[in-house]
Structure 1
Amino acid sequence: GVKVYEAGNDCHAIPTYNRRDFYKICINTGQNIIQYADRGIETDGTILFFGNPHIPYSWEITSESYHGFACVFTEEFLKVNDRSESLHECPLFKISGTPIFYLSAEQKTFITSLFQKMIVEQDTDYVFKDDLIRNYINLIIHESMK
């Protein structure tokens, strides 16, 4: 499955999940302290974060104003028909990898537009909406690896 949502001062409460098999991609503008594996990372600006269900992390927002989007999904959602490699092999989700990337204004605009498109698509009756959302997620992953 997949769920995409907006997060920020003026947004509804962020969904909580009891399942531990979700991968997560977030774009966030603001100041944060992210505890990831055995390290604490302070951020200020617009970042893209890749969370792996096998690596413990927590997120503390330290700025008064923040805004962003998030997408949570299972590996099975992204790996339809077993055509793609495991997310464990993706450098963005590897245990030894760096899960945080600072974005330029241009990157922020482009990636934010992809999250907005995913939010619209998840609520449609379009038969192939999962394929479309999967493509948007893959596009975010590929843009981050450039």
Structure 2
Amino acid sequence: MSCRGIAYLCYQMNLHEDLKQDERVWMPGVLDKDVRHFNIFYVQHNRDDKFNCKPYNRKGLYKISLLKGKTKLYYADKTMDFDSALLFSNPNIPYAWEHVESEQSAYFCVFTEEFFDQFINIREYPVFKPGNVPLFHLTPEQFQHFAGIFKQMLEEITLDFAYKYDALRTMVLQLIYAAMKLEPATCQQYKDSNGSMRIASIFMELLERQFPIESAMQRMELRHPKEFASQLAVHINHLNHALKTITGKTTSQLIAERIMQEARSLLQHTDWNISEIAWSLGFDDLPHFIHFFKKNQRLTPKLYRKAQPL
């Protein structure tokens, strides 16, 4: 899907929010709770459409893609080639792809974690977990089977049926369960220099996407090197090697520098108490944060805040 397509998808999923501002629009509650959390579509592309994409987004979209046509997938420091495949992605597993031949077609369904919130914990399924290969090669028969489910979903979403999203949830689970019975695709490593550059780039994006901290209720989710390594599906030593090669700094140093940057900003520009700042930056106890800050700044958080101009 092109970046233009992703933008259109986000527009569609935001459209309901805009419509709610209009008192003339009414929607049954059973539909209202799900319409913003799920969408499905079928697309065809030629080479001019620049068929590649990264699944980063502020909406936290999960995506299941049924892809047909010679395609190359880039995943962390790995690459995979396929003709027909089923691809799973969640908001924290970065990848990109590009088509190799001129004609491409694909089915996509996208949904938020909230779409399954009351029913299951979707992030616990292996196809969405970090460290697992998210791509499944398909035979022509398998492709037709999955295409049949997507076609049924496309038809279902157009129906005037109050419980259609419950039916769609069931169909999404059909895709997941059927995929888990298949063998995942094998992959190859990038050449070392390209692989290191890609890992470093994705690491920095994953780190930066956690900032700025805009509310005392917001908290860093990725705080330790092993958590980043898990998201990137690489060994922690491999992550350290890549970052040291590209940036000259270790994983821990890069994380600490970014946390300190945010800590100084929060101390200077908010009236949050220091315990709130410590919690939002992933520290479980205040003394740990004070020790960390003093080690890097040569001042305690309290003294640093007092030293700032009003």
TM range (shorter): 0.7 to 0.9
Cα–Cα, structure 1 residues 2 and 104, in superposed 2: closer, same or farther, change >3 Å?
Answer: same
Deviation at 1:139, TM superposition (A): 0.3
Return the match for 2:58 from 19, 26, 34. Answer: 19
AA at the equivalent of 2:172: I
Residue matched to 1:28: 67
Once the two structures are superposed, the pairs formed by residues 105-124 of structure 1 within 5 Å of their partners are: 105-124=140-159
Q: RCO greater where, 1 or 2, for CA within 8 Å and sep 6 or more? A: 1
Distance in 2, Cα, partners of 1:132 & 1:138 = 10
TM-score between the two structures when normalised by the length of structure 1: 0.85
Shift of 1:107: 1.5
- In structure 1, runs of 5+ residues without a counterpart are none
- Displacement of 1:78 in angstroms is 2.4
- In structure 1, how many angstroms separate the alpha carbons of the residues matched to 2:39 and 2:100? 25
Local SS of the residue matching 2:103: coil
Q: Give the number of the structure whose alpha-carbon radius of gyration is greater.
A: 2
Contact 2:56-2:91 at 8 Å conserved across structures: no
Q: What is the aligned partner in structure 1 of residue 172 from structure 2?
A: 137
For 2:159 and 2:99, how far apart are their aligned partners in 1?
32
Shift, 1:50, TM fit: 0.2
- Amino acid paired to 1:97: N
Local SS of the residue matching 2:127: coil
Counterpart position of 2:84: 46
C-alpha distance in 2 between matches for 1:138 and 1:46: 20
Candidates 44, 63, 69, aligned match of 1:8: 44
SS in 1 for 2:128: coil
Structure 2: runs of 5+ lacking an equivalent: 1-36, 182-310
How many residue pairs are counted as aligned between the two chains?
139
Alpha-carbon separation, structure 2, partners of 1:96 and 1:134: 25
Q: CA RMSD in A?
A: 2.1
* Cα drift, residue 33 of structure 1: 1.7
- Rounded to whole Å, the distance in 2 between the matches of 1:37 and 1:20 is 21
Query: Match for 2:163 among 122, 128, 144?
Result: 128
Moved over 6 A (4+): none
User: Any idea what the Cα deviations from partners look like across 1:43-101, whole Å, max 9, x if unmatched?
Assistant: 2x21000011111111211211111201111111123x2x32x2322111111001000
Letter in 2 for 1:8: Q
- Gap change, CA 1:56 and 1:19, over 3 Å in 2: same
User: Percent sequence identity over matched residues?
Assistant: 32
Partners in 2 of 1:104 and 1:9 — Cα distance?
Answer: 21
**Residues 89 and 128 in structure 2, CA contact (< 8 A), matched pair in contact too:** yes
Q: Counting strand residues as a fraction of each chain, which structure ranks higher?
A: 1
Residue 20 (structure 1) shift: 3.9
